[in-house]
Homo-oligomer: A and B are copies of this chain.
Amino acid sequence: VAVKRYVILAEGAFDEEAKTATGVMRYAESPTVAVIDSTRAGTVAGDHVPGLVSDVPVVSELGEALPFEPTTLLVGVAPAGGKLPETYRTAIIDALANGLDVESGLHDFLGDDPEFATAARLSGRELRDLRRVPHGLNVPTGANLAVPAHTVLTVGSDCALGKMTVCLELDAEARRRGLASVFVPTGQTGIAIAGWGIAVDEVISDYVAGASERLVLEGHERGGDGVILWIEGQGSLNHPFYSGVTLGLMHGSAPHALVFVHEPGRQTIDGDPRYAIPSLTELIDDQVRMARHVRPAAVVAVSLKTNRLDEDAARAAIAEIERETGLVADDPVRFGAGRVLDAVLSARR
Contacts and interface: CB of A to CB of B under 8 A. Distances in A.
B202 A142 contact: no
Interface residues of A, number: 41
- Most chain B beta-carbon neighbours within 10 Å: one of A203, A251, A252, A254: A251
B140 A245 contact: no
A335 interface: no
A145 B285 CA distance: 25
Contacts of A140: 240-241
Given A145-B274, A201-B205, A204-B202, A293 B244 contact: no
A287 to B, nearest CB: 11
A190 interface: no
Interface string A260-293: 0000000000001011001000000110011011
Given A205-B201, A206-B201, A248 B237 contact: no
Interface string A324-342: 0000000000000000000
A233 to B, nearest CB: 13
Give the top 9 A-B pairs by smallest Cβ distance, nearest first: A244-B248, A238-B293, A201-B206, A139-B241, A244-B244, A205-B208, A205-B205, A205-B245, A247-B247
Interface of A: 139-140, 142, 145, 200-206, 208-210, 237-249, 251-252, 254, 272, 274-275, 278, 285-286, 289-290, 292-294
